[in-house]
Amino acid sequence: MPMYTAPIEDMMFLFEKLRNNQKYNELEKYKEVTSDLVKDILQEAAKINQNLILPLAKVGDENPAVLENGIVRTPPGYKEAYKKYIEDGWTSLSCDPKFGGQGMPKTVSAFFDEMLSSASLSFKLYSELSIGAYNCINRHASDEIKNKYLPKIVEGKWSGTMCLTEPVCGTDLGLLKTKAKKHSDGTYKITGQKIFITSGDHDLTENIIHLVLARADDSPAGTKGISLFLVPKFIVKDDGAIGPRNGISTGSIETKMGIKGSATCVLNFDDATGYMIGDKEKGLSAMFTMMNLERIVVGIQGLGISEIAYQNSLSYAKERKQGKTNDSKSKNGADLIIEHADIRRSLLNMKSIIEGERALCFWLSQQTEVSLYHPNDKVREEASEYVSLMTPVVKSLFTDLAMEITSDAMQIYGGYGYTKDQGIEQLYRDNRITPIYEGTNSVQAADLVFRKLSNKNGNVVNKFLKQVKSECNSDNEKIKPFISEFNNYLAILEKFSDWMVNKAQTEKDDVSAAANDYLRTLGYFSIAYAWIQVLNVCFKEYNENETFYHDKIETAKFYFDKVLPRIQQHYKSAISGSSNIMNFKFN
């Protein structure tokens, strides 16, 4: 079984030293969230993840969730762990105190999301969608529905899902067939089938609250006719008590490559009672409240799995002896593999990407809070644009790089990594879903270049780059080489952006073919931007924590020397166009 130690020191470094967003610090609601409080939370989070949840990863992989006589049963130990999990209040961490939450900002809850992803992604998925459902209901539902459903979701006694995908439609939701027929009492009867529903059914909670996209009988075809409905597994009575079973049944559980402990269900809705959330035929925009948050969280899943893969690779490399290095001092036997240049390159590649991603995620968490709670409309709107811009980047790049990192981890382990004994191959399998669900990474790339590169308020990328330019300058001579190199890649990104915008007017296939290259270019650049912020602190305060800051500086240097140059390849590949692709004749 893989080992795991939560990276609390790095998380606290970010919270204490990079919580420098002026607009974020203007939020009154988080004034009392001190470093001491956050450290206490992270230490407790580390305990439950390392001691209780981590062992469930292997258990769930070897004993998947099963459907027996219409009842979904989770793997051994899940029910006991979940009971402890909600008793300790982890489902309520970032929720509004009005509904029983603790009111912690995403700058804190994102760290917990990462830890939980490292410990067991399968276990995490049972509560993760509940937070998404909470956010969607809290944003769009009536006060009556909020007061009826949210306290139990926040407490963790009830869980949530989102039901979008159907056999006839995945990304193209305009094709969905699920119907909603209105009754005289204002409720709707929902009929249809949803597939690939994460945590669609299980035995961990008393009730499951499904958020279902469906089309009312009198609504038009296409995405404009979609509404959102709350459909509980069990009907909830007026006094909040659980009533009879609703018209929902589990058809099957998918047999999957990874995340086997998570029940991915086919759900059948047969005249199930549902309640409309938000305005009629505005369901897709309401559901995006949940989906966009979930896309960022999926990126954090990739980060968490990358972290545990790196920790175990590093530990193994310090113990495994194989071959001799070029300057071997060993007269008998072999050297530790960590002394080999290629192994060290792989480990530094992992480390530089992971720490850069964590810093970028912390920046994005601050922007998210500003977009939700800042009193100034203009400030909120600008922050919302940055969150919108970075959502597909974090979702896609973090998960794609997690595939690279888990693959390299297996390579470091050699043949042992390919066996089940070490648990490394499970990390690879578990992560493989992250580039797929919540919109495949190619869909995210298309969203970035066709919707985010230019939007109704102008080019948000240019706004972002303007902010970056204003921040990435320093009189410190030691950081100037980093900034100089950074500016070279900024110039490439600017040229790339202009090329994409121009091509969108004349040759959209060129843009489509270049979309993934553009997303990765923006992503690698954004991680470098986060590293510049880290370096500013490291050089300025070097003498305060010399060992920690020296490690950061050397890690950043590897990123700038070995990872950031990938931008050049992506740019060169992209501007070659799409003619060869579109004109190729497949036999």
Strand partners, 248: 269
Domain with 489 in it = 454-582
The 3-state secondary structure of 401-445 reads: HHHHHHHHHHHHHCHHHHCCCCCHHHHHHHHCCCCCCCCCHHHHH
Amino acid present at 386: Y
Tens digits of per-residue pLDDT, 223-241? 889 999 999 999 999 999 9
Question: Looking at the domain assignment, is residue 38 inside a domain?
Answer: no
Question: Looking at the domain assignment, is residue 502 inside a domain?
Answer: yes
Helix (H, G, I), strand (E, B) or coil at 523: helix
Question: Above pLDDT 70, what percent of the chain?
Answer: 99
Residues 123 and 260: their CA atoms lie apart, in Å, by 10
Residues 15 and 10: their CA atoms lie apart, in Å, by 9
Distance of CA 101 to CAs 86, 93, 150, 370, Å? 12, 6, 10, 19
By the 8 A CB rule, do 45 and 20 touch? no
Question: Looking at the domain assignment, is residue 506 inside a domain?
Answer: yes
- The two three-digit tokens of residue 113, written as one number: 């999301």
Number of domains in the chain: 1
- The two three-digit tokens of residue 255, written as one number: 């047999």
The 3-state secondary structure of 10-34 reads: HHHHHHHHCCCCHHHHCCHHHCCCC
Question: Looking at the domain assignment, is residue 96 inside a domain?
Answer: no
pLDDT above 60: residue 457:
no
DSSP 8-state class, residue 28: G
Strands 207-216 and 179-182: parallel
Amino acid present at 49: N
Angle, alpha carbons 338-342-345 (nearest 5°)? 85
pLDDT above 70: residue 307:
yes
Tens digits of per-residue pLDDT, 499-521? 999 999 999 999 999 999 999 99
Residues 535 and 17: their CA atoms lie apart, in Å, by 11
Beta strands in 102-187 (DSSP E): 158-163, 179-182
The pLDDT-based confidence of 347 (bands split at 50, 70, 90) is very high
The pLDDT-based confidence of 284 (bands split at 50, 70, 90) is confident
The 3-state secondary structure of 104-120 reads: CCHHHHHHHHHHHHHHC
* Rounded average pLDDT over 306-332: 89
The pLDDT-based confidence of 168 (bands split at 50, 70, 90) is confident
Distance of CA 509 to CAs 374, 503, 517, 576, Å? 40, 9, 14, 12
* Rounded average pLDDT over 471-500: 94
What is the per-residue pLDDT for 458?
A: 63
What is the per-residue pLDDT for 413?
A: 97
What is the per-residue pLDDT for 527?
A: 98
- The two three-digit tokens of residue 260, written as one number: 């086997």
Residues 172 and 159: their CA atoms lie apart, in Å, by 26
Q: Which of 438, 477, 541, 546 is catalytic?
A: 438
What is the per-residue pLDDT for 293?
A: 81
By CB atoms closer than 10 A (0-12, 13-18, 19+), residue 505 is exposed
By the 8 A CB rule, do 401 and 441 touch? no
Question: Looking at the domain assignment, is residue 510 inside a domain?
Answer: yes
Residue 438 designated active-site: yes
Question: Looking at the domain assignment, is residue 71 inside a domain?
Answer: no
Residue 264: which H helix or E strand, with range? strand 264-277
What is the per-residue pLDDT for 309?
A: 98
Tens digits of per-residue pLDDT, 82-125? 999 999 999 999 999 999 999 999 999 999 999 999 999 999 99
Tens digits of per-residue pLDDT, 184-206? 999 999 999 999 999 999 999 99
pLDDT above 60: residue 442:
yes
Amino acid present at 570: H
**269 φ, ψ (degrees, to nearest 5):** -105, 120
